[in-house]
Amino acid sequence: MNENDLSYKTIGAAIEIHKIIGPGLLESAYDNALAFELREIGLEVKQQVPMPFVYKEVKQDVGYRIDLVINDKILVEVKSVATLAPVHYAQTLTYLKLSGLKLGLLINFNTSVLKDGIHRIVNNL
């Protein structure tokens, strides 16, 4: 399954979750619900994946974590904030670059219409 197919399935699962529980919960609730839904449809989901940070060839233990990695192909960064800030987009792109993944989804569940909170971010390697 390619990145676009995985993205389509992930967005569909996120929309289903948002229809059922709506906005207003913590990121961890949406993170767990999305992982559950994706596993239910047979996808491999890794949660809270450690993101190593190497500076001048020295690994720094700074505790960065990717919310979800789907089938080792796409990264999902889950938010539940009033408004996405430029730093959220930058964070997702940086995680893509550090992980070597090509496609990321930044999903803010704290919106009245979820499609307004879904953003595809591409790492042009």
Q: Whole domain around residue 20: which residue ranges?
A: 3-122
HEC string of the chain equals: CCHHHHHHHHHHHHHHHHHHHCCCCCHHHHHHHHHHHHHHCCCCEEEEEECCEEECCEEECCCCEEEEEECCCEEEEEECCCCCCHHHHHHHHHHHHHHCCCEEEEEECCCCCHHHHEEEEECCC
CATH label of the domain that carries residue 111: 3.40.1350
**Tally of domains within the chain:** 1
pLDDT tens digit sequence for 13-37: 999 999 999 999 999 999 999 999 9
The reported pLDDT for the residue numbered 96 is 94
pLDDT tens digit sequence for 96-125: 998 999 999 999 999 999 999 999 999 986
The reported pLDDT for the residue numbered 61 is 75
- State pTM to two decimals: 0.92
